[in-house]
Amino acid sequence: MSQTPFSNLKLQTNLLENLSSLSYEMMTPIQAKSLPYILAGKDVIAQSQTGSGKTAAFGLGLLEKLNVQKLHVQALVLCPTRELADQVAKELRRLARTIANVKILTLCGGMPMRAQLSSLEYGAHIIVGTPGRIEDHLNRGSLDVNSLQTLVLDEADRMLEMGFQSALDAIVKHTPSQRQTLLFSATFQTQIKSIAKRMMQEPVMVQVASTHDNQSIEQHFYQVDDGDEARLQAIRLLLLQYKPESAVIFCNTKRETEDVAHALIYEGFSALALNGDLEQRDRDQVMVRFANKSISILVATDVAARGLDIDGLDVVINYELAHDPEIHVHRIGRTGRAGKQGVACTLFSLRDDYKMTVLGDYLERDIGAEALPSSELLKEPALKAAMTTLQIGGGKKQKLRPGDILGALTAGKDITGKQVGKIHVMDQWAYVAVSRDVSKLALKKMGDGKLKGRSFRVRVI
């Protein structure tokens, strides 16, 4: 399929110039298929995987029709998680940087309500948020969407799986009936058809096949006995065999994520669970530690992992078969990105015979069970994560910047820049990854020293 340049679209000159400066020359398949309809004002249902370029697709549509002179909410983007909402808002700001005075506001649960109420008083053109918090603001009367032109449901299938059906219905009731509705989803299940029927007017359906094909992913299937013990031993063998720097183990239930993570930690692996029961602060810490390589294994449910920036993994392991073949493909698509060869390992038992047949038909291949690595591997020590995370009791509110933290750590030259990893500065906290071998020294330097002329509490997490 030949690629289509963005210059073929009828966009504002400043938007086209900005796309060029961002090196956005050619459209991805989902952009090429959906943007002409979006720009024409049609309701669109777009099915494509995470990482396919859908944010730019609906983002350009929003910005093209935006009237900056009118400071009221003209577009509302709903996302299943705060992390995805933050990513979407960041991308929209990049796309809009040549448009003067565009106000994009993020409204998500887990964040202080008072600060959001204050921001809303100043008005906004585009709101990006999670359904629960958006519904809260609408019920309070702090958010007015009477002038809304475009409603976007991003990762709609995951919002439904997370129980946001009633919130979505309530939000739609507050919006004008004459609006454009754009629905993006990785899967197209019965619930999606139902919500589209209620919310959309003569929608155009565009689909893009998954880009995560078998050519870039080395898939392995292992038959195990029923029971957690057999599955946990298989997981250990695979981790010891591949020694991944970053891996995600997908489980079907929250309880499984906790049990698997605890079992792996007991065996000496650097692992954490990620599921919907985590408080937002704990969830943030888990993702920071995984992103900065101080945790090498994330044990997650599909809902918790959706929309998060955890692509390009060394290994993906399915503790159990996914309930749906499309979800299986989405899971394994986390590995084998950017031209790299990925590895996906799936465990199944005799009771999964029907699911395996369905999956084989979907993948258009015969699936045969392979032998697990030798149990001799169990004598080897678990691979520790290369980095350790320090938490600093201050953040953006205290005017801390990544450069301040890096400078404090590398002062005196006993810690080099190469031994300092990713630095995340949030509103009230900051996190920095340091090489495991200098973690004690880094803790002492940060605890004894000062940042911005102040002392902050520092601890290892």
How many residues appear in the chain? 461
Residues 430 and 336 occupy one common structural domain: no
pLDDT of residue 276 exceeding 70, the answer is: yes
Q: Please, which pLDDT band fits residue 211 given cuts at 50, 70 and 90?
A: very low
- Give the tens place of pLDDT for each residue, 36-84: 999 999 999 988 766 678 888 899 889 888 898 899 999 999 998 888 8
Residues 341 and 456 occupy one common structural domain: no
Task: Give the domain range for residue 235.
Answer: 217-379
pLDDT of residue 288 exceeding 60, the answer is: yes
Residues 235 and 197 occupy one common structural domain: no
The average pLDDT across 341-352 equals 90
Decide: 346 and 372 in contact? Cβ < 8 Å. Answer: no
* Distance between CA atoms of residues 108 and 132, nearest Å: 8
The average pLDDT across 427-436 equals 90
pLDDT for the residue 373? 92
Neighbour-count burial of 233, counting CB atoms closer than 10 A to its CB (0-12 exposed, 13-18 middle, 19+ buried): middle
The percentage of the chain sitting over the pLDDT mark of 90, rounded to a whole number, equals 35
**Is 396 part of a structural domain of the chain?**
yes
**Domain final residue pick, 356, 379, 402:** 379
**In sequence order, what DSSP letters do the residues of 287-336 get, joined into one string?**
HHHHHTTS--EEEEEHHHHTT-S--SBSEEEESS--SSHHHHHHHHTTBS
Residues 247 and 365 occupy one common structural domain: yes
Average pLDDT, the chain: 86
Residues sharing a CB contact under 8 Å with residue 412, sequence separation 6 or more, in sequence order: 445
Any bridge partners for residue 46, and if so which?
Answer: 184, 206
* Distance between CA atoms of residues 45 and 37, nearest Å: 10
What φ, ψ does residue 231 adopt, rounded to 5°? -70, -40
The average pLDDT across 355-367 equals 87
**Is 212 part of a structural domain of the chain?**
no
**Is 128 part of a structural domain of the chain?**
yes
**Domain final residue pick, 332, 358, 379:** 379
Any bridge partners for residue 271, and if so which?
Answer: 297
Residues 187 and 41 occupy one common structural domain: yes
What φ, ψ does residue 303 adopt, rounded to 5°? -65, -45
Q: At what angle do helices 402-410 and 439-448 cross, to 10 degrees?
A: 110
**Is 414 part of a structural domain of the chain?**
yes
Report the domain count for the chain: 3
**Is 182 part of a structural domain of the chain?**
yes
Residues 76 and 113 occupy one common structural domain: yes
Query: CA 449 → CA 261, 291, 406, 427, 455, distances in Å?
Result: 35, 26, 13, 21, 7
pLDDT for the residue 432? 92
Judging by DSSP bridges, how do beta strands 430-435 and 387-392 pair with one another? antiparallel
The average pLDDT across 293-301 equals 91
Residues 257 and 184 occupy one common structural domain: no
What φ, ψ does residue 121 adopt, rounded to 5°? -60, -25
Residues 164 and 51 occupy one common structural domain: yes
The average pLDDT across 267-293 equals 87
Residues 71 and 130 occupy one common structural domain: yes
- Give the tens place of pLDDT for each residue, 141-165: 999 999 999 999 998 887 887 778 8
Residues 301 and 269 occupy one common structural domain: yes
Comparison of pLDDT for 122 and 189, the residue scoring more: 122
**Domain final residue pick, 189, 207, 225:** 207
399: domain CATH number is 3.30.70.330
**Is 1 part of a structural domain of the chain?**
no
**Is 115 part of a structural domain of the chain?**
yes
**Is 280 part of a structural domain of the chain?**
yes
Any bridge partners for residue 391, and if so which?
Answer: 431, 459
Amino acid at 286: V
Residues 245 and 190 occupy one common structural domain: no
Residues 107 and 145 occupy one common structural domain: yes
236: domain CATH number is 3.40.50.300
Neighbour-count burial of 64, counting CB atoms closer than 10 A to its CB (0-12 exposed, 13-18 middle, 19+ buried): middle
pLDDT for the residue 212? 44
The average pLDDT across 329-349 equals 80
